[in-house]
Each structure stands twice: as structure tokens, then as C-alpha cells.
């Protein structure tokens, strides 16, 4: 069952607070499901002066990354990303690569590679493990991280 898709988001803020600039964010994503494998590529861009304004206070629903969301939502940020995912014997596997260019006084770059494996023990209980490798321009922006998430829903 092959499927293709396109996703677009645009949001803008009109800030009425002194010293807070208006902001906006735009996302476009193309996706395809070819058999059991899902692919997606996308681009996210923010305002060059006000980044996303107060939009980020309403949640993190545009940024697909695990670790570099602050940079994706930063001033004049341009982020390209790609994902691939599948399920093998009930284990959901996904790989993400993202590269963000943003302004922090000067133009900076940061990259992320994240691998996630998740398993649903039942309809209510699931576990996922994520390994992320972040490579920034400084040592404080470069790190490896392993995280686990246990989810119980009712």
C-alpha cells in the first residue's frame, strides 16, 4: 500500500509586548510510504529577526528533532531534515538526520542524528529508547545522549 503525502505549516505571532519582536515559522514536508518503510524530508524556516516569537510557548509540534529544538526555533533558522522508519517484529525503528543553520550573534550550524527503537507491550504500555548524536560548533553544543521513555496510557 504505497502512499505519498505533503505537509505544510505556517504560524505567525503579532507581539504586543515591548521589546518582543513578531515572529513566524514555516515548514514543508514530503513523505512516502513504500511497503513497510516510511520516508520523510522537510525544511523549516523562522523569521530572521524575531525567530518564532511566542509561538514556541504553545508546544513543540513543528520541530521533528529530539535535541536541537532551540536552534530549529532560533533567529533566522533554516533546518533540513530527513527520516526513515519501519517496524520489524513489532519493534518500531526510526532514524532522523537534521541540520540547522541559525543566528546566535553569528551564523552557526548544528547537526543531529537520532535512532529510536520502540515496542508496545500492550495497547496501554510501551517503551522507547533513543540514541542521539549532536554535533555543534562548540564542545557544549556537541554531545551524545541516550534516553528511555516508558508510556502508560489509559
Q: List, for residues 75-101, the tens digit of each pLDDT value.
A: 899 999 999 999 999 999 999 999 999
For 9-29, the pLDDT digits (tens) are 998 888 888 877 888 999 999
First-residue to last-residue Cα distance in the chain: 31
Exposed e or buried b for every residue in 36-49, given b needs 16+ CB within 10 A?
eebebebebbbbee
Longest dimension (CA), the chain: 55
Confidence of residue 34 (pLDDT cuts 50, 70, 90): very high
Bridge-partner residues for 75, per DSSP?
Answer: 103
- Measured distance CA(37)–CA(21) in Å, rounded: 41
Alpha helices in the chain (DSSP H): 69-72
For 40-76, the pLDDT digits (tens) are 999 999 988 767 777 777 767 788 999 988 899 888 9
Confidence of residue 2 (pLDDT cuts 50, 70, 90): low
DSSP letter, residue 51: B
Amino acid at each position: 500500500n504505497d502512499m505519498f503525502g505533503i505537509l505544510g505549516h505556517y504560524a505567525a505571532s503579532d507581539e504586543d509586548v515591548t521589546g518582543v519582536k513578531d515572529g513566524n515559522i514555516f515548514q514543508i514536508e514530503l513523505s512516502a510510504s513504500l511497503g513497510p518503510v516510511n520516508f520523510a524530508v522537510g525544511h523549516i524556516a523562522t523569521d530572521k529577526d524575531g525567530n518564532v516569537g511566542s509561538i514556541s510557548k504553545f508546544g513543540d509540534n513543528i520541530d521533528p528533532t529530539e535535541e536541537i529544538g532551540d536552534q530549529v526555533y532560533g533567529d533566522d533558522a533554516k533546518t533540513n531534515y530527513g527520516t526513515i522508519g519501519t517496524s520489524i517484529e513489532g519493534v518500531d525503528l526510526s532514524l532522523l538526520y537534521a541540520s540547522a543553520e541559525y543566528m546566535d550573534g553569528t551564523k552557526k550550524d548544528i547537526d543531529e542524528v537520532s535512532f529510536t527503537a520502540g515496542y508496545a507491550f500492550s495497547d496501554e504500555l510501551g517503551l522507547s529508547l533513543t540514541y542521539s548524536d549532536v554535533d555543534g560548533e562548540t564542545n557544549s553544543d556537541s554531545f551524545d545522549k541516550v534516553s528511555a521513555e516508558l508510556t502508560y496510557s489509559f
